[in-house]
Amino acid sequence: MDNATLIYDNVFYTRKIALTTLLDVKDLVVEFRMPEGRLRAPDGVSFHVKPREILGVVGESGSGKSVTALAIMGLIPHPPGKIVSGTLLFQGQDLQAQIQKIRGKEISMVFQNPLNSLNPSLKIGLQLTEVLVEHLHTSQTEADERTIDLMKKLGIPEPQALMRCYPFEYSGGMRQRIMIAMAMLCNPTFMIADEPTTALDVTIQAQILHLFQQLREEFRTSILYITHDLSVVSQIADRVLVMYAGKIVEHAQTERIFANPLHPYTQGLIRSIPGATSEGAKRLSSIPGNVPGLIHPPPGCRFHPRCAEVMDVCRHEIPPDFQVEGTSVACWLYKE
């Protein structure tokens, strides 16, 4: 192969990666060192996010969803936490080396409680434009114009007046929209939303979900959408990762997950959606037991103590990912 072909191939290869994968996470392990012992969550998690895709992450409390998000953002509190292994590539580049430069600019994050993220004693306008002035070094006037323009696009009423108000003057739903606007100001390619609608009522929640879909359509933003609510995921995500006790147990297209869930844990989660079965709400807590403590996780499959279909192998050996018709599932039931 001559040099020209090699260079061409390299360029082509790099572009191909950029087109098919925006974020690539491989074997990510975050460890917390506590006085009681060490715990790992996520513990060996791999996934990728494509451009313009909404990837849903679901799982019960403590499964490692938020820590995965914080690891991507470079925000793991250290001590006690640390990324102990794994690679994080963003647009083909090592994310951990780049994150200071691109956080808030190319990658941004929306958290659950907008009141905690907004400074109560600063006018909303100042808080929003600070991002632009700080990251993109625009003038205040330009930042004001751009912010008002974006808020109009996001359907936020009377943005000029809003800029002069304080956060407490607005409802939870509106504050969350303001936070989403803030996260969108630098026109990021990738956004992480960690339970962004949990504190909101159902109507507002539907509006916010619509807003995320709009971001993907209009601004071509990829979104990692974290929630414990599978019904939210069914409305918004293209693909779904199901996490349990620090591991990804199932990974598939959204329609597949709902039409044909394979992992007994995913099946239990889907049964627990109110109205998902004829018995509906009666089965709300259809998975007996709790997520295990992660300092001493169960050996073998971490779900085995709660699994109705447990086999002997499940108690001793960690299941690898089996590929079944486009679904990736970590469960011994699917061994050929």
Ligand X SMILES: Nc1ncnc2c1ncn2[C@@H]1O[C@H](COP(=O)(O)OP(=O)(O)OP(=O)(O)O)[C@@H](O)[C@H]1O
Least distance to ligand X, CB of residue 228, Å: 5
Q: For ligand X, give the closer residue by CB, 148 or 226.
A: 226
Which uninterrupted H or E stretch holds 249?
Answer: strand 247-253
Residue 127 interaction partner, one of Ni ion, ligand X, none, beta carbon < 5-8 Å per kind: none
The DSSP line for 78-97 is TTTEEEEEEEEEETTEEHHH
Exposure string of 290-308, with b = 16+ CB inside 10 Å and e = fewer, is ebbebeebeebbbbbebbe
Interface map 47-76 toward Ni ion (x if CB under 5 A): ------------------xx----------
Residue 300 interaction partner, one of ligand X, Ni ion, none, beta carbon < 5-8 Å per kind: none
Report which residue type is found at 31.
Answer: E
**Residue numbers of the site for ligand X (CB under 6 A)?**
32, 34, 39, 41, 59, 61-67, 77, 80-81, 228, 294
Q: For ligand X, give the closer residue by CB, 80 or 299.
A: 80
Least distance to ligand X, CB of residue 34, Å: 6
Asked if residue 143 lies in contact with residue 133, where contact means CB atoms within 8 angstroms, the answer is yes
Nearest to residue 180, comparing CAs of 148, 210, 212?
Answer: 212
Least distance to ligand X, CB of residue 116, Å: 14
Q: For ligand X, give the closer residue by CB, 259 or 295.
A: 295
Least distance to ligand X, CB of residue 67, Å: 3
Least distance to Ni ion, CB of residue 192, Å: 11
Q: For Ni ion, give the closer residue by CB, 66 or 91.
A: 66
Q: For ligand X, give the closer residue by CB, 34 or 284.
A: 34
If you compute the radius of gyration of the chain from its CA atoms, what whole number of angstroms results?
A: 21
Least distance to ligand X, CB of residue 311, Å: 27
Beta bridge partners of 240: 56, 252
Q: Closest-CB residue for Ni ion?
A: 66
Q: Please work out, in degrees rounded to the nearest 5, the angle formed at the alpha carbon of residue 234 by the alpha carbons of 201 and 49.
A: 110
Residue 323 interaction partner, one of ligand X, Ni ion, none, beta carbon < 5-8 Å per kind: none
* Helix, strand, or coil (residue 94): strand
Residue 230 CA: distances (Å) to CA of 45, 182, 270, 286, 328: 20, 26, 7, 14, 18
| Neighbouring C-beta atoms of residue 275, cutoff 10 Å | 9
**By the criterion CB under 5 A, which residues form the site for Ni ion?**
65-66
